[in-house]
Structure formats: structure tokens, C-alpha cells
Structure 1
Amino acid sequence: MTTVGLLGGGPAVEAIRSALSDTDAEAVAIDADSIGATDVAAAVGSVGDDGFAAAAAAARRTDTALLAVELGGIGGLAVEGVDAAISG
């Protein structure tokens, strides 16, 4: 079974959790220090959130795939009219 670590909260995390409920993957709430214990991780936060840097560093250190959902902008910059940007 694939374990998907979810960092953050709110509607975006719940949407990911809901989508995964139709699969054989297990969605678990984690913090950045636990990324290496998962097969893949998704980090959700507002534009510029420091949690992205911590999650990215942990993912690189543990060679874990990371999907980032950045609310309100992209690349740490707020962009008017952008609800969310997804990168990996």
C-alpha cells in the first residue's frame, strides 16, 4: 500500500484525502520531519508559507516525492487571480 503524507490543513487537504479514499493508498497527516516515512507527500499552505521550505528540504534529504499546493500564488509570490498553484 502506498502511504501519502499530508502536510497542512483546510479544504485542499480534505480534497486530496477524499480523492485518495477511492484508491488503495493510505492518507496520513504528517509534519515535515515525517516526510521520509511516506512514499509521497503533499504540502498545502498559503503563498510564502515557511512550511514549504521545510517540506522541500526533508523531501530532498529523504528522496521522497513532494507535491506542493500553494494557495494564492506561486513560487512564494502572491499573484492576483491565482487561487492555487500545484508543483512537484
Structure 2
Amino acid sequence: MESKHSTAVSEAELSKSSKSLKATKAREHTDSLEYDPALADRLAALYDKHDGDLRAIFESIDESPRKALKYPPSNATEFGKKYAQGFYTYAEEK
């Protein structure tokens, strides 16, 4: 699909301009959401206690399992981390 106002760019121009680009150092990506690792560990233990039964886990903490059922974790560690980051909780209405 071409733009109505496209200008032709030659391969030579692209090659010349790309040589002026500078390399950057890669940064290690951290999690986008901060969380309490101790809380995540306790939640992982709860996951193990209920053998990964999301309905039983959320019933024990009196919360809706809807998000966890829609996006189920693959293991206890993932469950603990995602819950601690807020992936499985709902914002309260005011």
C-alpha cells in the first residue's frame, strides 16, 4: 500500500543514512509492575495447597477467579507473581 504523498527513497540513501546510526547498549528489562516477593511466595504456597484449583484458591480469599480462569497461570510461581502484581484483581468501584 503506497501513500498518496510518498517520496522515493533510494537504497543508496538508506544505506548512507544507516551508517550514521549508533549502537546502544541493551538494558535488561525489569518487570513493568513492582510487587512484594514475600506476598508472591505466600500466594504460590496457596496455589500449591489447593493443587492449582483456581476456583478453590479464590473462594478461600473471597475473590472472583474470573481473570485467573481467563488467563490461567502455568505454575505456582507465575500465579503468585501475577496476583501480587494485580493481574488477577479488579479495581473497586467508587
Give TM-score scaled by structure 2 length.
Answer: 0.25
Structure number having the greater helix percentage: 2
Name the structure, 1 or 2, with higher relative contact order (CA <8 Å, separation 6+): 2
- The structure where strand makes up a greater share of residues is 1
